[in-house]
Structure 1
Amino acid sequence: MDDILMLGIDIGGTYTKIGLVNRQGELLAFRTFPSHAREDFTDFLQAFQDNFKQLMEAVPEGMRVVAAGIGAPNANPYRGTMEYPVNFTWGDRVPLLEHIRPIVGRPVFLTNDANASALGEWRFGLAKGLEHFIVVTLGTGLGSGIVSHGRLIEGTSGLAGEMGHVEVRPDGRQCICGKRGCLETYASASG
């Protein structure tokens, strides 16, 4: 059982990170490449495939990657898509799983990036053993992963906890989503 590795994929508005993780949650190897520079989804997929191949060369002898998990902004795990990802120019519904699964060649699971962070904290971090907690993620955008009564709260489209586009000032700063006064324009790396 100690020969099992998982592939973690974090698609961020600025960078995408791909890592090999063992059962104890230890990061063994990783690759990073710019997401924001990929205006076309096909270009992103090529960069992903190149980095994935390089990372697979780092798999230690006798170990195997059995599955992958993706955390992505506005990810809808039920459709396998990124829904209206405002920090990307890839379209309204990006069919992420449809294109990533053939590259990875293993089972691939998708969740919202903040939910992925909450799951990591729940399994390996400061929230281990807790029944109720919230993880707030701050990066290019702003989000949260919520666990209540020992269950991850995803909502009907997997987007519960998406708080970056909550309006906090009606005549506030212009947001990339087209609205004004979104929390993300005040409390994120892009704000």
Structure 2
Amino acid sequence: MTPITSSGSRFHQLRAELCRGRCGMLAGIRRRRKFITYSEDIMSKVRLALSFVFPLSFGTSTAFAQLEGTYRLISTTARILETGQEEKYTDETGYITYGRDGRMFVLLVRGKRPKPESLEKMTDQQRADLFRTVTAYSGRYTFDGKTVEHHIDISWNEVFTGTTLRREVKRDGDRVMLTTPPSPRSKDGKMSVRTLTFEKIK
């Protein structure tokens, strides 16, 4: 190290060392900022990619949470579009379940259902009546806060397997009202909408 021969030389040397230290510190800060920005950019891209690969993990899980649970059917009402007349069905019962994993299941029965003496003694007419008075299916579901779609992949009636059923959703506390799109009634062909009211089981 070269000896310091004057106070002026020492002052300039100290200032140079201070500048080098400050410049090094600023360079380090800039490198850290670039690294943080780069890391945030990478994480943003990763989150975006995962949102396409695992859509249930982002956003839709919140919607699922709004419906999650098992509900018991407490009433069914049909409204005829032409007249506005409403009819209540008192002979229907059943349950519907919505899972946080994005799957649902429903089982509904209605009317006077026969009770065979045993499986071995069940008649063809009893089998037909039991089939006619039940609705059951399962599949994925999507919910946007107003409309739920049931994407059916297994059903009591293969006519519905592979189809999508849409229901308008209204919520009132622990109750959920599902309203079907307009469709002709089986008994008279009149266009009507059905509203099924379910209450959450606690």
TM bracket (short chain): under 0.3
Q: State the structure with bigger RCO (CA 8 A, min sep 6), 1 or 2.
A: 2
Higher normalized helix content (fraction of residues) = 2
TM-score, length basis structure 2:
0.22
